Structure formats: C-alpha cells, structure tokens
Structure 1
Amino acid sequence: MTKSFIPNLRLPLIAAMIATLGAPALLAQVQTQRSPFQLRLPNLGGPSAAAGVATGAQRQADYIVAVVNSEPVTNNEVRARMLRTEQQMRQQAAPVPPRPEFARLVLERIINERAQLQLARENGVQVTESAVDDAVANVARQNQLSVDELRRRMTADGLAFSQFRGDLRNELLLTRVRERELEGRARISEQEIDQFLRDQESGTGASAMEINLAQILVAVPDNAGAAELATLQARAQLAAERARSGADFAGLVKEFSSVPGRGGDGQMGLAAADRYPPLFVEATQTVPIGGVTGPVRSGAGFHVLKVIEKKRAGMPGAAVNETRARHILLRPSAQLTEAAAIARLADFQKRIAAGQADFAALAREHSQDGSAKEGGDLGWASPGMFVPEFEERMNSLAPGQMSDPLVSRFGVHLLQVVERRTTKLAPREQREAIREMLREKKLDESYLTWSQEVRGRAYVEYREPPQ
C-alpha cells in the first residue's frame, strides 16, 4: 500500500499567478505540474467534454491551429482540453480566464506536451499495454467502478474508450520522460540543507515565512486606453479605501473583483511566501495581519491585498502525526467481484460493530495481504506512506472508528484506526525531511526550465487561432 506518485493541482496559487501576471504566468504555473495525470475522472456520468466538443464540431469544421515539428494540433483538440481544464478549475473554485486568453493558454500547454511526447519517442521511452491497463484500472477504482462499468459509462457519455486509453498512454509517457530528464537536476546538497536551517533560525528568506493573502483584482484589458485605465484604477482605489475602513472584504470581492478565490472570498490559501508572486510578497512584507495594501499594478490589473495570516514556517519534519491502523483487504478476482467484496466487508463491519465478531480474527482468516497474520495491523504510519485514497479515508477516522468498505487500487478494504501519536524526529530524520521538501521545490523549478528548453528546440508554426 505504499504511496505512488500522484501530482497535486495547486489551483489557488495558479489563480494568484493569473491575477498577477496574466496569461504567461498561468502557463508557467501549469508547466510546473510535472505530470497532469489524474486518476479520478471529474463528474463521471455527467455532461462530458467530448459531448461538448461534438456539439461545437457540428457547427463548424475542424481546422489546424498549430504545427509542432510537422505534427498538427487541431481546434477540436484545444476545445476538448479547454472543457476538461475548465471543469477541473471550477471544481477547485479557481477562476477561469476570458475565453480568448484561456484558448491561447491551453494551446500553449498542448504545444509543450506535444514537443515533450516527441522527445520521449525520440529517446525510446515506451509504455507497455500492461502499464496502460493498470492506469485504466486505477481510474476505475478511484471512481469506484469496474473497468467494464467505466467503459460503459464513458461510451454512454459519448467518450471513445480508445481515445481515453491513448490519453493515459501519453500521460504515462510524459511522466516517464520528465522523471528521467529531471532526476539529475534535483539533487540537494548538504550545504543547501544547512542554508535552509540558517534561514529558519534567522527568520530570513521567503521559505521561512508562510502567508495567506486575499485579493481584489480589478482586471485591465490588454487594449485599455488611458481613460479606461484611469477609471479602473479609481475603482480599485475605492475598493481599497472601503477595505481599510473596515468593510467586509469578502463582500468587496463579490462587488469588485475579477478573481473570486477558492471560496469566493478572494483568499489564495496558506503557503510558503516563495510560492506567491514576488509582487504580492513585496507589497505585503510590512503589512500586519488584517492589514490592507494597494492598489498595486501588475500585468493583469490593479490588486488590493489583505493579509489574512502570516507566520514563520514550521521546521519540516520536526514532528509528525502518526497513525496506527488495521484493515481487512479483499482483492477482486474472477471468483470475487468488487461488488461482492464490498458486500462481504459490509457484513464484517456490521458483525464487528455488534460485538459478534473480532476485527483481528476476521483479518487473520480473510485478509489477502501480508498484514493478515498480524490481525490486519499496519503498524505506525507517517503521512505519505499509503496511497492517497487510503490515507484520506484513514485521516478522516477517529481512533476506534471503522470506515465503510473502501475501494483503492489494491482492492477493497475495511479500515479501522487504532490510535494516533505525535512523534519528534531525530536530527538526521529532520534533515532528510528538509531534503525531500527542497527536492520537490527544485523539481518544480527544474521542470519549468527543462520544458522551456524543449519548447525552444521545437519548430512551431501557428495557423488560425483556436475558437
């Protein structure tokens, strides 16, 4: 049940980058996500992206919008990706740019991916059919479906299953070529760890502070004239004055802002200061918690910023919350369907809750993994040791509480949390935790540099703009 690589989409900070620098910043931030591969399909069973594209395709013929090293990118490809991306961003309450700008951003992302896929093929990177099968099975499990049910649902929604497999294959190729190219660029030296520790002790450096900012953005169009610019600046100034006078900031966001933030209150979330745009950090450096500054000008418009939270970042890994849990695992097979496994574990759950059976005894008799002989005991686990779908459910349980049957990529689990504790790490373990944190940051930075290098070597010819 060890953890596998599943990327995080940091959409609130993507929104911050949009709000600061406009279109190029969104592209840069999207590029730092080293793998866009996502296991969970958004709103499976609802209106599909493919259906939306098909409707649009009936209104106009498809056409080529760009050529990447002689390989075409079509308008329908851009439209399909826009629909999927917009759905993901709206689920995360991230603002969606105006359509022409959004289309340009999505096209640039496709061009970058196309160039990277071509590089992967040139370097002999391959993905086997069994790896694609595993990825399909993972998606099905994440959505609590069998592969056959997933295929039926996608077909009913107008999605071609062969295209779905092709998309997964490409995502796996992208992940492999990126990991191969970036691994050597993300080594962390002992000197870098020492410098991080010195920054922490002195309170200097962006990584030593965490901030949560809320913003009101009065967007400025690219072609704004002097009169329109003055009007928009006056609007931003009015919003700032009302914020300083004590007006509800969330209400001002609704009234004035082009960017609602994740909860409609303009907030971008607590994060290390170096994860925020430098303009925001500089503008709020001396502003106390609850204070308001601005308007400040960026490529996107005028920003009014409020400091929601500001604190010194904790030492990574100084203490960890550990959980001791146990489980009963049933693996679906030809003899045991997933539905039957869920029903069997639900019966176990009722019997244990009623005092008619013992969890450990049932685990020894029925669990289909190495923990069975220990009564299902998984031992003490630190954050990140289990796959996300398992760990998320485990973290939601109180000690002594059982989950309903849980489907993961490994099978179906009946999970119970036994106890929790907070453990301090030894100095050597703390340094390793810092090393991993710095490595993740360097991977993000290295990916952006590498992707720009790959893009720079590609021949790109733009045709008609996407619609």
Structure 2
Amino acid sequence: MRSARSVTTFAAGAASILALTVASLGLPSMAQEQAPPQAAPPQVDAPPAAAPQPAGPQPLQESVAAVVNDEIVSSYDLMQRMRLLMATSGMQPTQENLPQIEQEALRSLIDEHLQMQELRRVEKQQKITIISTDKEVDEQIADIAQSNKMTADQLKQSLVQQGIGLDTWRAQLRADSSWQSWIQGRYGSRLRIGEDQIKAYQRRLAESAAKPQYQVSEVFLDAGRVGGMEVAVNGASQLITQMQQGAPFAAVARQFSSSATAANGGDVGWISPGEMAPEVDAALEQLRPGQLSRPIQVKDGVYIVYLRDKRAGSKTAIVDLKQVAAPLAADATQAQVDAAAKLLTDLKPKITSCETLEAAAGKVDGLVAGDLGEAEITDLAPAFQDAANKLDVGQISDPIRTDAGMHLIAVCGKRQGGANAPNHDQIENRLRGQQLALIAKRYLRDLRNQATIETR
C-alpha cells in the first residue's frame, strides 16, 4: 500500500489567478438560488503586464498543480475549476478568500481523479459500464438548465462568457454522477434498514415532539479534509462573509460542505435538540429565523448553520398500545384491588414482548388481554397518558387503577404525530441516504490513503 504524501499549498501565480478570475466573472452566478444585489467585488491590482492584453479571460501559463497516481492536474485545470466553483457558488474572489477557493478546487480535482481512476479500474476488472455517457451528461445539463429556468444552450453560453470551458463542467458532472451511481449500485441493494432502526428513529421523534423544532441548513467543513481546525475556522469565516454579501447559502453548501446534505444545498430539514452536536444546539437556541450562525467548532470540524424557521413543540405523539386488564367495579373493596394488583404484578415478568402479551395473559384466569391500537397520547385517559409518556417501546407499565379495573399497559410502538411527521418510507429513505453517504466518504478516504498524491 502506498502512503499519501503531505499536501502543500499551491500558491504560485495566485495574484495572476485572482486578476483573471475577477476579470472573467463579470456575469451573475449560475447558481439556482438568486442572490440579492451586491456591491462589485473588490478590485485587486494585477501584476504589471509586459504588453496590453486582449479583453476577456486570459490563458494562464500551464504548469503542474498536482499529480494523482501519475495523472497530472494542470494549473489550467485548477484555474478552470476555481472559476466554476465561484460561478456555481456565487462567491466573489478577494485576496482573503482566494486561498480557500484555490484549495477547495484542488481538493475536488484530486478527489475526482481518484474516483475516476477507481471507476475505470472496476469497469476493466468486472467488464461493466459505470461511467456516465455523453448522453447522460447532456441529460443532467438539461435538468440543471430547466431548474434555472434556462435552456441548455443559454446555460452553456453563460459559462463560456465567464471563462469556463464546458469540458471542465462536464468532467465534474460525469465524475459526480458516475461515483454516486457506483456507490448506489454496489451498496444500495445490499443495504438493509431494519425495522428496529426505523422504530428507534420514530421513538426519538416522538420523545422530542414537545421540544422546540428548528428548520436548518448547514455547511460542514471537515477539519481533516481542509488541513486542520484553524484552517476550517478561518474558511468558515470567509464563507460567512461571502453569504452575508449575497452568495446563496445552498450554492455555497453544494460546493464547500463535507456533509451528506451538501447535495441538497445543505438542507437538514426540521430537527429537535439532540439531533445535532451540543455546540450546534446551543447556537440554534440563540438564533432567530433568517439568521446565520458564527463558525461553530465541534470535535472534527466547523459548522455554519442557517436557521430558516422555528416552531414550538407539537406535544403530539402517537403510541401503539396493548393491555392486560383485571375487571373491577369502581366501588371494589381494597382487598379486591390488592388481589387484582398482585395478579398483574406476578404476570408482568412473564410478558417478554408485545407479541407474547396475549398468550401470557391467557394462562391466567380472570384476565382480559387485547390490542388498543394507535392513539395520540393526549387522547388517552390521564392514567394511561403518564405511562405512555414515560415508557419506551417494548416496556410494560406497573398496574394502573381505573374505574373499569386494574391494567397493565404495553407500549408496542411510538412515533411523532402531526402533518410534518415523516412516514415510514421517508424515514427509511433518510436512514439509507445517511448510510450510503457515510460509505462513500469512507471509500474515498481509503482511496486517498492508498494513493500517491503530490502538489506543487
């Protein structure tokens, strides 16, 4: 196994790259989200030219920016990717953010080379087709153009006018779609989301239903990927500045975030306290809807969160209950009450699950067992509400006295109620997506560790 060599900053020619990018990005961003009007990007003096240069994007003297397993990433490739990154994220180049843009562009190019090398190896070894065809890339472009309310030709022309070669964009689309297709094809069919995982997720939602809920978008900078925690914090500050100046959050998230939500523009959806890192929870408590957080440092990186909306807890949880009852009159004697309670107390250890409840109760004379079905906790009798709130799925209550008798209540299921609660299939898809994203991240990490990577 070959070890990766340390990566050094590719800084040569930074001033000239900045001058070129400022000159070449005169048109609005092609990002889907429309940024508000903003001031012109800061003007940066370019190095003195030996002779007058023609208008428009200028070619950069080509050199080697990186070598990935003997494949060269040229300085032209790097400049093109920087232009594409800025065009699709809405960022404007400045002296402060140029190193971050440059490093992100270089990292993405290195990752794509590793991905395409692996895909070509698999295609050759297994004699299958994985890499997206030209037709499939054209279909992606048509979809992106439609979402931007443009034709494919208009979108392509917009890129060309910003000094971006279409081959650069097509290469990015091809690598991304091919890699996602390979991960889905290799692992998706064998990945199983168990009912216990879905029920556990539903239970967490139900238990947090009464807590405040936040609609959140995120950008996560992985400290290990960007070169350390200090780099991540500084990078987050630069991104926040750009978003405050009008760069759309979703576009920035797609290009810079290491989270699985990057593909959806950083959209996390509705969450409750406890679903994200404690440091993020603390920040969310202080934000108002429409506000952007400061950099939030966590164990392995830095978050930027945008609070889109906030709502009070619904207190709506739905439980699936079964019961065992010993019928008693409302005016039963204390001796009768004590006898019924002992009967149920002795039975409780013999009930190992909701599935065994009725069979166990059927062996005891004088008891009635049955399925109460699903109900909102707030619709239950007060004595049953307390048990349903406190018990986890699979647990059984102590004897509960009502006017109708003495009862044992078993909680067989618990989920969040209300119109915004995700259903079974949505939860399964969300968990599957999270696991596939984690698999893809580990796969690429292993490719990096095995590769020989040099930057100049």
**So what's the TM-score if we normalise by structure 2?**
0.43
**So what's the TM-score if we normalise by structure 1?**
0.42
Larger Rg: 2
